[in-house]
A and B are shown apart, each in its own frame.
Chain A
Amino acid sequence: MIETSGLRKSYRTGRRGRTTTVDAVAGLDLHVAEGEIFGLLGPNGAGKTTTLRMLATLLPPDGGAATVAGADLFASPAEVRRSIGYVAQGGGTWDEVTAREELVLQARMHGLGKAEAQARAAAAVDSFDLAEYADRPCRGYSGGQRRRLDLALGVVHRPAVLFLDEPTSGLDPAARARLWAEVRRLRDAGTTVFLTTHYLDEADALCDRIAIVDGGTLVAEGTPAELKRSIAGEVVTVGVAEPHLAPKAAEVLTTQECVRGAEVRPDGTLRLSVDTGESAMPQVMRALAGAGIATATIALHRPTLDDVFLARTGRSLEES
């Protein structure tokens, strides 16, 4: 449904005479199948939003090739627009008008006639459960209500592909779970969903397939399960008895042959990527004892998507 190859976008920054070029997206190859929820996962500044905005025809790409819903993004963006819906990170509604009026206008901007647009708006009000406040001005909506309206606006014309930029950013857990359910429902009805997220749990629980990006390039692509399985190694977490020694412990452990990466987490524990946990744990304890650092806890974990990111980039997604 979406194919890109070598998709590129760079920005020029700085003042006259001293401009530097930043590659926001540096040659991205993506393949999104029909009817799946595809997530672009990465830290802030990884090029997620730039990629999504290019595919949604909002930003002209600098190079590469891409087709969306069978239309060439470079040659005929107008044709792409006929098959897509887009929900921006901050949404976009006028405060003074009601959800129903917004839905009718959006359907009409997509070329539908008045009666048809009103019918679509009524259907959207029902299916997104907006009836309670659909005839009140948008000004008074809660974050979750507004987000459901944004989603309804994105699909009121029944597009083949829906683009969502950080769909649950800033929502409380209940509103978030509800939005996930709406997105799954759209997928089950045949819509292809392309979203960006920097939440690991969102990528893991909501997306059928994900592409991990960092610095504008693809780091890994696959189903969440495949990606986690691809981590040949395992994760060992270590709690040191005196937390202020944690940075020193990390330093000591990175010199160990069995440790591929070590980082201190915000709670003061250490996270180590290792090949095999069973053999690494005694070595880790021995190395720490040799450096005079007492170990309080040590545990072996199944890899998470953050471990995938750490293994491929040497940094943790949660902290970048």
Chain B
Amino acid sequence: MKSLRDTWLVFQRHLLLMARSPLQIFLGVAQPVVYLALFAPLLKPALASMGAGTMADAYRIYVPGMLVALALGGGLYVGFGLLAELGSGVIERARVTPVSRVALLLGRSLRDVVVLAVQAAVIIVLAIPLGLLVRVPDLLLAYLLLALISLTSSAVSYGLALKVGNPDVLGQLVNNLAQPLMLLSGTLLPLALAPLWLRRVSDWNPFSWAVTGMRELFAGHPGDPAVWRSLALMAAVALAALLWSARRFARTVR
């Protein structure tokens, strides 16, 4: 009960900080718009291998993958904010209070989920006139999947930030983590282009499963087994990431 209340406190504060930084909001929304604009011309030829005959088809394949990439890539960078907070002393101020340590993590991660939800909404709204079609129940399931991915990536990023404690090392680490995970999930480039061994490797990447599930949702097939499989898998991965990161918070911020 106390953890929930404290999570709400931390979440509110971080949402307020976000609201007070208009530039950060603007850039956060601009990034996916730029993705959409720059990748669009390449879509049709590149996605032809996945059965995209028209531009509309291409968007229905590309946008779900891009949403996963945004949740994964965006979330992995949130640890830098935590490092800045560690440096400024606000974390230490919280440490001498009885505030729940899990709440310090959860409040931040939930803020990151809200940020992602807004970014995703912008992309989906912009892609609808380009041919993207999605039913509301499918969209809600897609949002659930995105929230689980975002919780995973931000929890991992906060945990890594506490572990390495240095922005330069964190930057390298996040890059080395994000690039292969993105490539091996077929978010931006389709895995159909990959040799067989690479596709076998990507079977071990939970985000690859998430992309497949997301594409089925946007294709209007919520009953496809890939959907529940990806939701169950990402729920398990998110739980594991939160537990690991919460332990780091409890230990470092004891």
Interface residues of A (CB under 8 A from B): 56-58, 60, 77-78, 81-82, 84-86, 88, 90-94, 96-97, 101, 105-106, 108-111, 137, 153, 157
Contact = CB atoms under 8 A, between A and B. Distances in A.
Contacts of A108: 9
Contacts of B90: 92-94
Q: Which 10 A-B pairs have the closest CB atoms?
A: A92-B89, A96-B20, A109-B97, A86-B96, A92-B93, A109-B99, A92-B90, A88-B89, A81-B98, A110-B97
Nearest to A113: B5
B254 to A, nearest CB: 7
B165 to A, nearest CB: 15
B92 A88 contact: yes
Summarize B's interface: helix, strand, loop or mixed. Answer: helix
Nearest to B18: A96
Interface residues of B, number: 21
B112 interface: no
Contacts of A101: 16
B93 A106 contact: yes
B88 A94 contact: yes
B89 A81 contact: no
B93 A88 contact: yes
A105 B9 contact: yes
A105 B12 CA distance: 10
Interface of B: 2, 6, 9, 13, 16-17, 20-21, 88-99, 254
Nearest to B20: A96
Contacts of A82: 98
A106 B92 CA distance: 12
Contacts of B13: 94, 97, 105
A78 B2 CA distance: 14
Contacts of A111: 2, 98
B196 to A, nearest CB: 42
B88 A106 contact: no
Contact of A56 (B9, B20, B94, B96): B96
Contact of A137 (B9, B20, B92, B98): B20
A186 B88 CA distance: 26
B102 to A, nearest CB: 14
Contacts of B95: 57-58
Contacts of B2: 111
17 contacts: A57-B95, A58-B95, A60-B254, A82-B98, A85-B96, A88-B89, A88-B93, A90-B89, A93-B90, A94-B90, A96-B20, A97-B16, A97-B20, A109-B94, A109-B99, A137-B20, A157-B97
A85 B89 CA distance: 14
Contacts of B96: 56-58, 81, 84-86
Nearest to B90: A92
A90 B90 CA distance: 10
Contacts of A106: 93, 97
A94 B20 CA distance: 11
B154 to A, nearest CB: 19
A96 B85 CA distance: 13
B92 A78 contact: no
Contacts of B92: 58, 86, 88, 92
A151 B91 CA distance: 16
Contact of A92 (B17, B88, B99, B254): B88
A159 B13 CA distance: 23
Given A60-B254, A108-B9, A81 B93 contact: no
B41 to A, nearest CB: 39
Contacts of B99: 109-110
Nearest to A85: B96
A200 B19 CA distance: 45
A124 to B, nearest CB: 15
Nearest to B2: A111
B88 to A, nearest CB: 6
A205 to B, nearest CB: 27
B21 A96 contact: yes
Contacts of A96: 16-17, 20-21
A243 B17 CA distance: 58
Scoring B91, B94, B96, B97 by chain A CB atoms within 10 A of each residue's CB, the highest score goes to B96
Scoring A91, A106, A109 by chain B CB atoms within 10 A of each residue's CB, the highest score goes to A109
B12 to A, nearest CB: 9
A216 B91 CA distance: 27
Scoring A85, A88, A106, A157 by chain B CB atoms within 10 A of each residue's CB, the highest score goes to A88
A83 to B, nearest CB: 11
A18 to B, nearest CB: 22
A81 B97 contact: yes
B93 to A, nearest CB: 4
Nearest to A92: B89
Contacts of B91: 92
Nearest to B103: A109
Contacts of B94: 109
A74 to B, nearest CB: 13
A157 B93 CA distance: 13
Nearest to A59: B254
Contacts of B254: 60, 77
